[in-house]
Amino acid sequence: MTKKDLKIVFFGTPEFAVASLDALVAGGYNVAAVVTMPDKASGRGQHVNFSAVKKYALAHDLPVLQPERLKDETFVETLRGIGADLFIVIAFRMLPEIVWSMPPMGTFNLHGSLLPHYRGAAPINRAVMNGEKTTGVTTFMLKKEIDTGDILCREAIEIGDDENVGSVHDRLMEIGARLTVKTVDDLIAGKLVPMPQDDILKGEEATPAPKIFKEDCHIDWNDAAAKIHNQVRGLSPYPAAWTTMTLGADDSAGVLVKVLATRRAASAPSLAPGQLALSGKKAYVGCGEREALELLEVQPAGKRPMAATDYLRGLRIGENGRQPRFV
């Protein structure tokens, strides 16, 4: 079987999936259809928004399916009618067995971690938030339990000490596109021997990567500087770590501020948790154990991202007893 003979149905929604879809299309693979999320209306005018994958599919004349329910009989019969040999899933919903078991060559998924580490909805964020030095992408065959199927291919990358999740995401997106194509080629050639994840775990527990919620983004300035730094970069640029800025004793009258970038600073001043300070041309915020982080970029509510030094100068720290701080 050649890549033109192999009939593929591609499942995906966000930009992360587009790179792999584009690699398949540009490589001359037979993508018979694309499945993506239903269109959503948003904003004051309820403008209908297409997913990134749908936009790409329409621009390249690929048939698009957008089922509300993945077990819908009409959708399932439409899939069967395509007669695909292989399904590929990247950043999509959990598929029911009636779908992922359909193609004769099975269904594989591209996941943004080195499975079995960081199983779940937010593997890239969680790896950076936990201060990992390496991560990667994995292709694996789907089965009932999420992110537990046998591994086909993996590729690792190093994470920079100050690198944020946006940068890691973009690098993994491009590497993942190459790995997706390699996986298809190796499946066609019969080169792959799927590896059970238990063979890698050897009795240890898999690392979870649960969905990011608002409380995961709130900064506790009593935490160690290293932990806060990893939290900030693991959530930047989106959804972003946040705090509340107050002007004094009344902590309830605060303004929400997103913290977009920080830096570990060996010579930072000793500050109480949440205390803000300008020193020379640098801005600092206190953390636990009288440590401090250099503040690089923030975004006050209703404003654009700005240099932290500009933001702190605008707070006029020390004037008329003003002691703004983060809580």
Q: Is 171 left (phi over 0), alpha (psi -120 to 50) or beta?
A: alpha
What CA–CA distance (Å, rounded) separates 34 from 59? 12
For tokens 């640029």, name the residue: 237
Please report the pLDDT score of residue 322 as a whole number. Answer: 73
Are residues 109 and 26 part of one domain? yes
Q: pLDDT tens digits, residue range 209-257?
A: 999 999 999 999 999 999 999 999 999 999 999 999 997 655 446 899 9
Please report the pLDDT score of residue 319 as a whole number. Answer: 74
Q: pLDDT tens digits, residue range 281-307?
A: 999 999 999 999 999 999 999 999 999
Cβ-in-10-Å burial (0-12, 13-18, 19+) of 16 comes to buried
Are residues 188 and 292 part of one domain? no
Within 10 angstroms of residue 271's Cβ, the number of other Cβ atoms is: 20
Indicate the residue among 154, 173, 201 that finishes a domain: 201
Quote the domain boundaries for residue 41.
7-201
* pTM exceeds cut of 0.75: yes
Are residues 133 and 28 part of one domain? yes
* For the chain, percent of residues with pLDDT exceeding 90: 87
Tell whether omega for the bond before 104 is within 30 degrees of 0, i.e. cis. Answer: no
Taking 70 as the threshold, does the pLDDT of residue 43 lie above it?
no
**Spatial CB neighbours of 224, under 8 Å, sequence gap ≥ 6:** 287, 288, 289, 291
Are residues 235 and 94 part of one domain? no
Distance set, CA 114 to CA 50, 117, 206 (Å):
30, 6, 11
What CA–CA distance (Å, rounded) separates 12 from 241? 27
The tally of domains found in the chain comes to: 2
Q: pLDDT tens digits, residue range 144-157?
A: 999 999 999 999 99
- Closest of 16, 243, 241 to residue 124, by C-alpha: 16
Please report the pLDDT score of residue 323 as a whole number. Answer: 84
Among 97-101, 109-113, 313-317, name the one with the lowest average pLDDT: 313-317
Within 10 angstroms of residue 48's Cβ, the number of other Cβ atoms is: 10
What average pLDDT does this structure show over 22-45? 90
Please report the pLDDT score of residue 248 as a whole number. Answer: 64
Please report the pLDDT score of residue 258 as a whole number. Answer: 98
Please report the pLDDT score of residue 315 as a whole number. Answer: 87
Comparing 319 with 109, which gets the higher pLDDT? 109
What CA–CA distance (Å, rounded) separates 139 from 154? 6
Indicate the residue among 201, 226, 252 that finishes a domain: 201
Within 10 angstroms of residue 302's Cβ, the number of other Cβ atoms is: 7
Structure tokens that stand for 124 in this block: 């890239």
Comparing 302 with 317, which gets the higher pLDDT? 302
**Contact 157/179 with Cβ under 8 angstroms?**
no
Give me the CATH number covering residue 286. 3.10.25.10
